[in-house]
Amino acid sequence: MSEIKKVATRVGFGNALVELGAKRDDFIVLDADLAAATQTGMFKKAFPDRFYDCGIAEANMMGIAAGIAATGKKVVCSSFAMFAAGRAFEQVRNSIGYPHLNVIIGATHAGISVGEDGATHQCCEDIALMRTIPGMTIINPADVTEAQKAVKAAFELDGPVYMRFGRLAVPVIFDDSYRFEVGKGVELRAGGDVTIIATGLLVNEALQAYELLKNEGISARVINMHTIKPLDRDIVIKAAEETGAIVTAEEHSVIGGLGGAVSELLSEECPVPVLKLGVYDTFGHSGPAAELLDEFGLRAVNIADKAKRAVAMKK
């Protein structure tokens, strides 16, 4: 078996900014002293006069982004998820969300796969925080290809967009022919016994879980839910109706993320068992990313176990 190519989704973010920058000069990119890590540094290198470093001041960066957008210009601002969604939450809510401004927030280093930096930097709450802001679009790409396409799609949206990227190099799932549409979940595997709805780096794990389950005679449907808000209601309700059991999988708290969004929808529209795989209301800690993913149970085998439980719970 050939070596699987692995690239971090944040690289797709950087690639897309450079690609867009070559085509249009009507936008500004901001960072808060993390350009080398977030990959806005790629844009900075290519277009130094269209990049502004706000320094270690994320709250002010969000306000500056809002001001630029209020003058009718497009703007991308970037930091780690912890600081973009966490520290600057209220600036995002009041200065960007409330006036529904066209700001793209590129939040990298999300989740526990940040690794060695430990709990202070392992943001597993950002999706929950951003979901509570009316009008906020939230996109969590699964691989570098999807990340790059998602950034370009976000440029065409009206209103704020929170984009979640990872630090860790993850397998490339999609090729250039992959079609990305904001707000439309993608069925990657057909199946009738249970549906795994995954986002971000858990999509690849879900595809492996599909194989594990298949070996045990369970037919799992796999959906890539790259857009968490607005949630693709139709694909979720259809999956609940047709397979009768759901597993959600995300590198995020089980409180308020994809699992929360799916549960909220299905409890009202089509109540079926929804088992949530994610980080269980705990802080992370330091360690190599791959080992943390094992330890926190964010692997294919864990998804498969949940899926079997979900099938057993079906009426």
Partner 1 sequence: MDAAAKKELETVVLKVRMGIIEGVHSAKSGHPGGSLSCAEILTYLYFVHMNIDPENPKMENRDRFVLSKGHAAPALYSVLANRGYFDVGLLKTLRHIGSILQGHPDMKHIPGVDMSTGSLGQGISAAVGMALSAKHFGQNYRVYSILGDGEIEEGQVWEAAMFAGNKGLSNLTAFIDYNNLQIDGTIEEVNSACPIDKKFEAFKWHTITIDGNDFDQIETALREAEAVDKPTAIIAKTVKGKGVSYMENAVNWHGAAPNDELYEQAMSELKAALAGMQ
Phi, psi dihedral angles at 251 (to 5 degrees): -95, 70
Tokens standing for 261? 């969004």
Which CB atom, from 29 or from 201, has the smaller least distance to partner 1?
29
* C-beta of residue 226 within 8 angstroms of C-beta of residue 151: no
Q: Which stretch binds partner 1 (CB under 8 A): 58-66, 117-125, 139-147, 243-251?
A: 58-66
Site residues for partner 1, window 69-108 (CB under 8 A)? 69-73, 75, 90-91, 94-95, 98-100
Length of the chain equals 315
Beta-carbon count within 10 A of 258 CB: 30
- Max CA pair span of the chain: 61
Residue 230 lies near partner 1 (rule: CB under 8 A): no
Residue 134 lies near partner 1 (rule: CB under 8 A): no
CB of 145 to partner 1, least distance (A): 31
Which CB atom, from 83 or from 296, has the smaller least distance to partner 1?
83
Q: C-alpha distances in angstroms, 312 versus 212, 246, 284, 307?
A: 17, 12, 31, 9
Site residues for partner 1, window 180-219 (CB under 8 A)? none
Tokens standing for 178? 């992959």
Residue 47 lies near partner 1 (rule: CB under 8 A): no
Residue 148 lies near partner 1 (rule: CB under 8 A): no
Which CB atom, from 60 or from 219, has the smaller least distance to partner 1?
60
* C-beta of residue 240 within 8 angstroms of C-beta of residue 195: yes
Q: CA–CA separation, 217 vs 279, rounded Å?
A: 28
CB of 100 to partner 1, least distance (A): 7
Q: CA–CA separation, 221 vs 246, rounded Å?
A: 9
Which CB atom, from 90 or from 269, has the smaller least distance to partner 1?
90
Whether 58 sits among the annotated catalytic residues: the reply is: yes
Q: Which stretch binds partner 1 (CB under 8 A): 34-42, 67-75, 190-198, 219-227?
A: 67-75
**Number of residues near partner 1 (by CB under 8 A):** 28
Instruction: Give the distance from CA 119 to its chain's centroid.
Output: 19
Residue 37 lies near partner 1 (rule: CB under 8 A): no
Q: C-alpha distances in angstroms, 136 versus 63, 99, 257, 312?
A: 16, 11, 14, 36
Can you give the binding site for partner 1, defined by CB under 8 A?
28, 50, 52, 54-55, 57, 59-60, 62-73, 75, 90-91, 94-95, 98-100
Q: Hey, which residues are catalytic here?
A: 58
